[in-house]
Chains A and B, each alone.
Chain A
Amino acid sequence: MITVEGLTRTYGAFTAVDDVSFVCQPGRVTGFLGPNGAGKTTAMRMMVGLTAPTRGRATIGGHRYADIPNPGRHVGVLLDASAQHAGRTGREVLTIGAKTMGLPASRVDEMLALVSLSDAESKRRLRNYSLGMRQRLGIAHALLGDPEVLILDEPANGLDPAGIRWMRGLLRGYAERGGTVLLSSHLLHEVEQIADELILIGRGKIVAQGDRETLLADAGPASSLVTALDNDALAAALRAQGIQVSASGTGLRVAASPETVGRTALDARVVLTDLRTGQAGLEDLFLELTADTQREGHPAAATQQGASA
């Protein structure tokens, strides 16, 4: 379990992390989501004692990181997969970690196999590794000590789609065995399928947190996109209930949940060919919540025409 309470870090007049509080529960994957420079990395660095907080505290399993003896055995950390000596081989990097933690050499082979780095690849120097291979090695390093908690900064960065799927399975299995996972990303689609909980951060502040459903429930009023064989008849039946209807493409946009629209269609004996939620997706929510913290102007169209999530 990771507990973050009022964590704040300022650099002069700049506040990188601003009063951030959250809890990562065991058995759950928590996604830490925010645009570049939102303070994700600084927050994670404070959790493992690399950066001293200006205010607040972070504890892991109830302990300050510095108070955990041999922390590699309890907390797996991957802050930057490229932060390794370019002249060492992948195997050597893991061997150094295993020796520090007091693990047998066989653990290195187990981890290499787990992240699918071949024997030949493990003997190459890191300067010849692709970013994806470095990420795999970094994940292997984080898992070396069989920790209860994983803290991973942008672990999917550089992985190909198959690699992301592999990582998703790996972290899901890890959480199901009772592990606590906190992983960050600036790309929603990387985390939304892995994470049980999401923490959205922008400009150092948490702008939303909760599980997927909770976040989506707060994402705006109910809305559906529906297409029927007889759109006019459906529109009339909906308006008769006082529900707002407007034309949208080949169908209708309705200010009601898909369930309400379905029942209305059933009662009116109108055949539906398409019915889905017209609510803003997580991506829209993400962009909206971090809009004032984005570097680029937020395209207005994205909030109006909800892409189906």
Chain B
Amino acid sequence: MSTPDLTATAPPRTIDISGTARVPFTRLVAVEWRKMLDTRGGFWLMAITGLLLAGTIALVLLVVALADDARVSANDLSQILSIPLSVLLPVFPILVVTSEWSQRTGLVTFSLEPHRLRVLLAKLSAVVLLALATMVLAVVLGAITNPVGAAIGGYDVRWNLEAGTLVMTVISQLLYFLMAFGLAMLMLSTPAAIAVFYVVAIMLPFMVYSILYAVFDWAQSLIPWIDLSFAFTPFLDGFDGVDGLDVARLLVAVAIWIVAPMVLGARRVLTSEPK
């Protein structure tokens, strides 16, 4: 054992790393995808989301069968089926981040890939892929439900879903995934991130903002600036009648709930010490 000479330059290279490639990004994404689904929590979230989708479809078909004048179109279905997808799936972008802290797996994850930004980007990619995959599943199920509903209800099937509307529905879902991901990085705590996300994304717009919006003038001018769902509403039916004010409101809401948590959260993950 020798005491190293601190005045010396770099220590001798005794390990040859020239033959080792860095971990490819696609492999990191594949691993993060696997980690999302290989726990009981992940399994049940997917299973319950599947059940919610099936239950929603069954309910739609039941209404069509029982009510004489009830009809659904492809456009209706895309609106209806995006609801079960938005209930539980945002827990995935939260867990994929916070579980590294709550389960302390970050010790292993960040020693196998010390470049934490790559890990975060891999997680984000896995989460976006999950959002897209579930949307594709919902579209396929909707495309099956639509003619079945028409047959049961005895009306002509209507394929009136515009590509633009579908794209905006997908983007809306992605925005909420990004918001959940950002909040998770910012808080690094599963219960805190889930609570804040559901209050901000679901409880406030449905239970508080909708009432204020209907009653007060000031609420009508304020809420679209600070709430994603209100800010996004003008964009849902394509871009007809969207003006500069709508764009500005969406940008502000996105800055508050997506850009700010993402930037601050990423900084926190990059500098924190996984214990």
Q: Do A and B bind each other?
A: yes
Question: Which of the 9-residue segments B82-90, B105-113, B183-191, B217-225 touches chain A?
Answer: B105-113
**Which of A68, A79, A85, A209 is close to B39, meaning CB atoms less than 8 Å apart?**
A85
- Asked if A6 is an interface residue, CB under 8 A from chain B, the answer is yes
Which of chain B's residues have a CB closer than 8 A to the CB of A211?
1
Chain A residues 200 to 218 lying within 8 A of chain B, measured CB to CB, are 209-211
Q: Assess whether A60 is in contact with B15, with CB atoms less than 8 Å apart.
A: yes
Partner of A71, one of B13, B39, B111, B273: B111
Q: Which residues of A contact B105 (CB under 8 A)?
A: 83-85
Q: Which of B10, B22, B108 contacts A62 (CB 8 A)?
A: B10
Is there an interface contact between B39 and A88, defined as CB atoms closer than 8 Å? yes
Q: Would you call A221 an interface residue if the criterion is a C-beta within 8 Å of the partner chain's C-beta atoms?
A: no
Which B180-212 residues sit within 8 Å CB-CB of chain A?
none
Kindly list chain B residues whose C-beta atoms are within 8 Å of the C-beta of A65: 114
* Chain A hits for B106, CB < 8 A: 83
Query: Who on chain B is nearest to A66 by CB?
Result: B114
B205-252 contacts to A (CB < 8 Å): none
- Mark A261-283 against chain B: 1 for CB-CB distance below 8 A, else 0: 00000000000000000000000
Contact of A84 among B6, B11, B103 (CB under 8 A): B103
User: Which residues of the partner chain B approach A87 to less than 8 Å between Cβ atoms?
Assistant: 39-41, 103
Q: Write out the residue numbers on chain B whose beta carbons fall within 8 Å of the beta carbon of A197.
A: 1
Residues of A contacting B21 in the complex (Cβ-Cβ under 8 angstroms): 69-70
Asked if A86 and B103 make an inter-chain contact with CB atoms under 8 angstroms apart, the answer reads: yes
Q: Which residue of A lies closest to B113 (CB)?
A: A100
Q: Identify the closest chain B residue to A49 (Cβ).
A: B114
Q: Is A22 an interface residue when CB atoms closer than 8 A count as contact?
A: yes
- Give B91 Cβ to nearest chain A Cβ, in Å: 14
A41 CA to B149 CA, complexed, in Å:
63
Residues in B1-54 with C-beta less than 8 Å from chain A = 1-4, 6, 10-15, 17, 20-24, 27-28, 30-31, 34-35, 38-41
Closest to B3 in A: A21
Query: Which residues does chain A contribute within 8 Å of B103, judged by CB atoms?
Result: 83-87
Alpha-carbon separation in the docked complex, A141 to B112 (Å)? 11
Give B71-114 interface residues, CB cut-off 8 Å to A.
Answer: 99, 103-108, 110-114
| New contact pairs (7) apart from A52-B271, A141-B108, CB-CB < 8 Å | A4-B4, A25-B1, A48-B111, A48-B114, A61-B13, A69-B23, A96-B35
